[in-house]
Amino acid sequence: MNWHAAVVHFPIGLALIWPLIDGIGLITRQPMVSRTALGLMLTAMITSLVATATGQMEFDQAVAAGFEAELLNQHASYGSMVPWVLMAVSAVRLWLPGQIGGIGPWLGVLFGMVSWWLIVHVGHTGGVLVYEWGVGIAAPTSHNLGPS
């Protein structure tokens, strides 16, 4: 089973949605909504660690299958930055409000939205590897070709 493909969509989706939900919570002054968003943010950070670890395993398997490491490096390099960026965003979002007050949560949300570029880029480069180069795709066999 390709574990990377199974887990990678969680941090992508969560990292893209939490700033929106947090912003809604801040606008509507609903602390429970913002707390829910913070839970999503922390879950994105944790699942990004799992996605990075499984991605490294897939990298090694792809190289063993004959794919050039240079083909995989851009995705791997940017992908390995995601947990660090999400940790930094989490720290800003959780720490800054206590330091500077009312604008602090909004700066955390802004940092979360800025991280979207990295998240989307990593997702796009992963999609290119799978859909254009066939990385991680099993070769067709008689059992998965369908009825004859």
**What is the average per-residue pLDDT within 18-40?**
96
- Average pLDDT over the chain reads 91
Distance CA 11, CA 81 (A): 13
For residue 127, is pLDDT > 90?
yes
User: Could you tell me the pTM of the whole model?
Assistant: 0.85
Instruction: Report yes or no: 136 and 130 within 8 Å, Cβ to Cβ.
Output: yes
Instruction: Determine the residue type at 75.
Output: H
